[in-house]
Amino acid sequence: MSFRTTRTVDYVEDVAPGAGALAPRAWYAASDAKSLSLNGDWRFRLSATADAEDDSFAAEGYDAGDWAEVTVPGHWVLQGDGAFGAPIYTNHLYPFPVDPPHVPTENPTGDHLRVFDLPDDWPALGDGDAVLRFDGVESCARIWLNGTELGEFKGSRLPHEFTVGALLKPAGNVLAVRVHQWSAGSYLEDQDQWWLPGIFRDVTLLHRPVGAAGDFFVHASYDHATGEGTLRVDSDVDGRVSVPALDIDVATGESVTVAVEPWSAETPELYDGELVTAGERVPLRIGFRTVVLADGLIKVNGRAILFRGVNRHEWHPERGRALDLETMREDVLLMKRHNLNAVRTSHYPPHPAFLDLCDEYGLWVIDECDLETHGFTEQGWRDNPVDDDRWTPALLDRAARMVERDKNHPSIVFWSLGNEAGTGRGLTAMAEWIHGRDTSRLVHYEGDWNCRDTDVYSRMYASHAEVERIGQHLDGGTGKRRELPFIQCEYGHAMGNGPGGIADYQQIFERHDRLQGGFIWEWIDHGVRHPELGFAYGGDFGEELHDGNFVCDGLVFPDRRPSPGLVEYKKVIEPVRIEGADGAVRVTNAYDFADLSHLEFEFAYQVDGESTGAHTLAVPPLAPGESAEVKLPAAAPDGDGAEVRWTVRALLAADSPWAGRGHEVAWGQRTVAPRAPLATATGAEPTADGDLIVLGPGTFDAATGALLSVGGVDVTGPRLDVWRAPTDNDDGASWQDDARWGVLWRQLGLHRMRHRLDGVAAEAGSLTVRTRVAPAARDVALRTVYRWTSDGERLRLSVSVTPEGDWKVPLPRLGVRLGLPAAVTGSATWFGSGGEAYPDTRAAAKLLRWDAGIEELQTPYVRPQENGARSDVRWAELGGLRIEGEPEFWFSARPWTSEQLDAARHLTDLVPGDTVWVNLDHGQHGIGSQSCGPGPLPQYFLKAEPAEFSFVFAPAR
Ligand code: IPT
């Protein structure tokens, strides 16, 4: 006897893109043709394999009454409270054996059913046609309507349409969709993100009237020499094109040239128009702009542009990549409010509505194809689909579906072939097709440093030094590359605390014409809302293979609260520079297109961090690149020993679509008169009182010299502290060749320093405590002397630190840590940076007087790590104490220790204790970007070298 099993699901492993779908065409949200959203509750059945169930569920009359339900758009693994499997996070590793195009037998397969009636106002059946549009299904779908199979497709983040007019009934239409998590297409979709199967974008039924529009291509260029725009709409179906505001009414295919306001990301001028065919009126939003490569530069409307960009994945902490319009708008508004002007849609075409928003609010877009084969790097790129002709039709299909869908968006200036796919003939074929189809945009791809197929030299995570060399044209490279402009399509890895060093990059970008800016990696932490963990990351769903919190590397937290990294980036890329000059403010317009007439400038002096009344600063409407010196509008007040500074703020002068009047766009500060030196606080004598020593307001343990209380406030410590809970950027990525300081610190034992007491001496006018601070098993140490003095009211601590031995690593931090009883600590007031800042994330350190509760001083990085330091602090008050420092210090306060912070895996692991731990740091090590890019620049190292610093403690004022 013999038998054999047949697989009925060969299409799943077929490298072909699919069968049955219509040719791709321009996407638009709505026209006067009827449409019916099929979003909502669908019946759902999950199977463990692709062929577990036959296709009888697609037949009319099938009873799915006992099936579960899911919401469409959505991912089934994020619904059903775990009943439908779980998300998997890997960076570049395929979560299945690499044997293209084969996928595992265990292939979660979701059958989706939806029964729908046509609305009453739907045109009569037989009047025209209808199509079903799927905007995104991961990763492979097979479709039936009323029992008839329509086809199958792959290409998760791309639209697919099917003709269905002949199958529709007035009522009881049965739409059946079988979705397989894994398919041959998965090999092309190895982006660094959660694997999330499902129908995650809209499903829509579109009526297609007789004479409906087909595909159409809006060509709208701008001639900066004449100020005229030329419009021509090529359309598969003849019709007319009108733009009332421009008095345009022409036939499709006909060109018309008129004076227009051009579109740019800064001035997103859109003209409403209409394409009218015999059967349909399609609204158009037309932006006139011309993108060229000229003089080795990317120019739009005749001017070189500078990308101040970010990489955006689609993310919502509950809905994954199923984004609603309001979430998309929130992204765009947040970007505009933080001075960003560009988005790379890493690493797939976004929901098309996002591109409408980019057109409307003004963002340059690099639209990236849904293609990444990164996991093949594990085998030296052998069998890479992009270099295997069998896969080329799938690649070309993806290129065409992106370009055809999105070609009418003025915001898109680059098409990107994909990400991290190595090199190969398939990519060349894509580039050739795109160049042939659309001559009005440029082509991007990072993976080929020889730029064979591209119009820009693009790199990711190149060091400052290398970017500088590229800027100077000293990078060598092939003949073609030498002629091309340069962008960093990814830099500044915003994982956890950071990225550091972005101000330094910006200076380099601005120094060399060839460098046209970059895109921070990335926009949002892909944390998944979780009942016990707060936000979950890789491994939290029991994945057998995962990349931990590498998925949380955004400028905004999963709930879209801005992280300090976004605030820093806003300052680094601000389009107006405000600097001090003698008796004047120097203002420079750093926009590419806009003058400054949309801004008003506010000037105020601060005494000891507090403003003394605002003045208007009259700044001329400078053109891009121009600068002017504006006289200070008032004489400085007398600080009477307190520091006097001024702050100038550039504010929106009127409401804009993305922020209200008064929104701060840029700012600058300068010191006019420094503060008086710190009080010497001497004169009082230490006196013995049993086991205690009393010096002014301080009480000390006579045996250890430890301060026990000051001014009646109980304290623990202060004593030397060098440890910080390593940040993701301290730890660095495993593949990094450079020293990874977080790892070396732990190896050396800086998290377990021992404090040896060498002597306590109460002598004339001071109490001196000598110590040696060192880790077990090592011969390096920090000799530390604490010298206390007092004038009777105030207590001064001078710390001197002398390294011993051969320190081969910088220190994480250098300062003292003290504990205050949580019950009396209250909130903090300080004069220093308002938000978190470290040596190389300090551009946005706006030095004023601030207040915050202890809770607010914590930055909620999804994986807990060092955070929350305030820089340049002159003084801080909390717990009834005033602490002044000389020189300025770094201040942090938390309701747990650094060790607890270090041990925590999720924010929910951190529970406030009885003590608030206050770090007063003389130094902090830089942050850098080594979780994927270069570490901190040497100038931001906290070297182990002799140091002296002082604090004065007194009752709060
Ligand atoms: C780069 C990827 O392009 C991006 O998707 C993301 O994974 C990022 O790194 C890190 O978060 S690839 C990099 C390892 C060179």
Domain boundaries, the chain: 10-208, 216-290, 293-571, 593-673, 687-826+852-955
pTM of the model: 0.97
Question: What is the C-alpha separation between 912 and 17, in angstroms, rounded?
Answer: 54
Note the pLDDT tens digit of each residue in 781-831: 999 999 999 999 999 999 999 999 999 999 999 999 999 999 988 899 999
Gap between the Cα atoms of 11 and 8, Å rounded: 8
Percent of the chain residues topping a pLDDT of 90: 97
Ligand 1 atom closest to Cα of residue 419: 3
Q: Kindly give, in sequence order, each residue whose CB lies less than 8 Å from that of residue 747, ignoring residues fewer than 6 positions away.
A: none
**DSSP structure string for 809-849:** S--SEEEEEEEEEHHHH--EEEEEESSB--TTS-TT--EEE
Q: With 90 as the cut, is the pLDDT of residue 476 above it?
A: no
Reported as a pLDDT band with limits 50, 70 and 90, residue 341 is: very high
Q: Is 446 in the pocket of ligand 1 (CB under 6 A)?
A: no
752, pLDDT greater than 50: yes
Distance (Å, whole) CA 751 – CA 942: 16
Terminal Cα-to-Cα distance of the chain (whole angstroms)? 96
Query: Ligand 1 in contact with 491 (CB < 6 A)?
Result: no
The answer to whether the 216-290 and 593-673 domains have the same CATH topology is yes
Report how far ligand 1's centroid is from the alpha carbon of 934 (Å).
Answer: 13
How far is the centre of ligand 1, averaged over its atoms, from the C-alpha of 590 (Å)? 30
Please tell me the CATH code under which domain 293-571 is placed: 3.20.20.80
Mutation to probe ligand 1, out of 92, 189, 191, 192 (largest number of atoms < 8 A from CB): 192
Band (pLDDT 50/70/90 cuts) for residue 406 is very high
Q: Is 374 exposed, middle or buried (0-12, 13-18, 19+ CB in 10 A)?
A: buried
Question: 593-673: which CATH architecture?
Answer: Sandwich (2.60)
Active site residues: 420, 490
pLDDT in tens, 759-792: 999 988 999 999 999 999 999 999 999 999 999 9
Cβ atoms 770, 916 nearer than 8 A: no
* Residue 6 confidence (pLDDT): 46
pLDDT tens string 531-560? 999 999 999 999 999 999 999 999 999 999
Cβ 731 under 6 angstroms from ligand 1: no
Q: What does the pLDDT read at residue 332?
A: 99
Cβ partners under 8 Å of residue 408, min gap 6: 26, 28, 216, 217, 218, 284
Assigned CATH topology for domain 216-290: Immunoglobulin-like (2.60.40)
- Assign 3-class secondary structure to 354-379: HHHHHHHHCCEEEEECCCECHHHHHH
What mean pLDDT do residues 346-372 have? 98
Mean pLDDT of the chain: 97
pLDDT at position 254 is 98
Atom of ligand 1 nearest to the CA of 446: 3
442 CB under 6 A from ligand 1?
no
- In tens, the pLDDT along 189-234 reads 999 999 999 999 999 999 999 999 999 999 999 999 999 999 999 9
CA–centroid distance, residue 546 to ligand 1 (Å): 15
**Which CB contacts under 8 angstroms, 24+ apart, belong to 232-237?**
232/256, 233/275, 233/284, 235/275, 235/277, 236/25, 237/211, 237/212, 237/213, 237/277, 237/278
Query: Is residue 420 in contact with ligand 1, taking CB distance under 6 Å?
Result: yes
Q: How far is the CA of 192 from the centre of ligand 1 (A)?
A: 7
Residue 417 has pLDDT above 80, yes or no: yes
Q: How far is the CA of 375 from the centre of ligand 1 (A)?
A: 12
Please work out whether the CB of residue 419 comes within 6 Å of at least one atom of ligand 1: yes
Nearest-atom number in ligand 1 for the CA of 461 is: 15
Asked if residue 5 has pLDDT above 60, the reply is no
Domain 687-826+852-955 indexed as CATH 3.40.50.620: no
Contact 649, 601 (CB under 8 A): yes
Q: 378 alpha carbon to ligand 1 midpoint, in Å?
A: 15
The first and second tokens of residue 422, run together, are 């190595």
| CA nearest ligand 1 atom 12, residue | 420
Choice from 346, 460, 550 to test ligand 1 binding pocket (greatest atom count within 8 A of CB): 460
- pLDDT score of 361: 98
Q: Does residue 490 have its Cβ closer than 6 Å to ligand 1?
A: yes
- pLDDT of 2: 53
pLDDT tens-digit series, residues 91-134: 999 999 999 999 999 999 999 999 999 999 999 999 999 999 99
Residue minimizing CA distance to atom 4 of ligand 1? 192
Give 563-577 pLDDT, tens digit per residue: 999 999 999 999 999
The pLDDT assigned to 824 comes to: 87
Q: What is the pLDDT of residues 640-683, one digit of tens each?
A: 999 999 999 999 999 999 999 999 999 999 999 999 999 999 99
Which CATH class, in words, describes the domain spanning 10-208? mainly beta
pLDDT of residue 8: 60
Distance CA 711, CA 956 (A): 10
Ligand 1 geometric centre to CA of 445 (Å)? 14
According to DSSP, the β-strands at 148-154 and 35-37 are: unpaired
